[in-house]
Amino acid sequence: MKIKNVLSAAALCTVSALTLFSCSKEQETVAPATQEAIVSQAVISQIKEMGLTTQDIKRVDGGYLVEGDILITDENLANKPDYQLLRVGDQEQYRTSNLVSVGSGRTISIRVSTSLPSAYVTATDELIRRYNAQSLLIRFTRVTSGGNIVFNPAPSGSGYLASAGFPSNGNPYYQVLVNSGAIGTANASTYIATILAHEVGHCIGFRHTDYMDRSYSCGGSYANEGAGTVGAIHIPGTPTTASSGSWMLACIGSGQNRYFTSSDVTALKYVY
């Protein structure tokens, strides 16, 4: 998820939502190709085959960062799942084939590292409230020790605001890395909660809503990566026209709050 800031014309600097760009000269001296050069063509091909965006892939601890905030591990690359998508009107709501096993109901615990500011506890409580208000088979609770999903500080110098991975073996991805220095502490129950709810969405198997055309939320030219190994399942009763505001759109304006849209709720209830 990238954050698209609405800045004054004089600022001339864009901050991407879960990929951070700086106007500093020091940052500008690092060419994007430097990061991409360490990613082999074989890996790029594998990621493209999965139906993920291959532009600006970055090698990070534990795997490869794609689409600004999704961590693809070596285990993910080794698997050949039958990916599917959930189509929501003219905006597609995607999931991976690996979902969280919930049976007749399951509660997922979330822990906020004590190294993160207290605003992130407030934000976590709000995102939990948002999910639990939908009466899904999957529910969330915050804990102070352990945790199925842990919000940890991102490594120093990280070029993203937050990142997460996809489920495996019926369990959610185990952590969200949060660049609190870049996100800040303002608007905890709105802006920060929206970012963290988006990352939890990845942890339980959701893709970006506007995957088939990221320009919908990010701007720029039309960008359709193709479905790759993804199948298609249309959700009955979803709108036939595009709707804005999904919590899983790829880009978000700085300070913006995105609660679940009616289409998001349909997708969540279909899957969980």
pLDDT (tens digit per residue) in 234-265: 445 544 444 578 898 777 778 989 999 988 89
Distances (CA, A) of 204 to 35, 191, 222, 235: 28, 20, 28, 18
CA distance 255 to 188: 10
Pairing of strands 84-88, 70-72: unpaired
Phi and psi at residue 267, to the nearest 5°: -65, -45
What pLDDT score was predicted for residue 176?
97
Across the range 176-186, mean pLDDT stands at 95
Q: Name the band, by pLDDT with cuts 50, 70 and 90, for residue 48.
A: confident
Contact 211, 250 (CB under 8 A): yes
pTM reported for the whole predicted model: 0.75
**Which of 14-23, 155-164, 231-240 shows the highest mean pLDDT?**
155-164
Angular region, 12: left φ>0, alpha ψ -120 to 50, beta rest = left
220 or 270, which is more confident: 270
Q: Is 90 exceeded by the pLDDT of residue 56?
A: no
> What average pLDDT does range 102-120 have in this prediction?
98
Describe the strand order of the beta sheet including 162-163 as a list of residue ranges: 138-143, 106-112, 149-153, 175-178, 162-163
Task: Tell me yes or no: is domain 2-271 CATH 3.40.390.10.
Answer: yes
Residue 161 CA to chain centroid, in angstroms? 11
Q: How far apart are CA 7 and CA 36, in angstroms?
A: 28
Cα–Cα distance between 245 and 210 in angstroms, integer? 11
Q: Determine the Cα–Cα distance for residues 247 and 1; give it in Å rounded to an integer.
A: 10
Torsion sign across C-alpha atoms 100, 102, 105, 109 = negative
Task: Look at phi and psi of residue 135 and say left if phi exceeds 0, alpha if psi is from -120 to 50, else beta.
Answer: left
3-state secondary structure of 85: strand
For the cut 70, the answer to whether the pLDDT of residue 111 exceeds it is yes
DSSP 216: H
> Could you tell me if 209 and 93 are in contact, meaning their C-beta atoms sit under 8 angstroms apart?
yes
String of DSSP letters for 5-24: ----TTT-----SSS----S
Domain boundaries, the chain: 2-271
CB distance 164 to 200 below 8 Å: yes
* CA 74 centroid distance within chain: 19
Most confident of 19-23, 42-46, 180-184: 180-184
Phi, psi of 262 (to 5 degrees): -60, -35
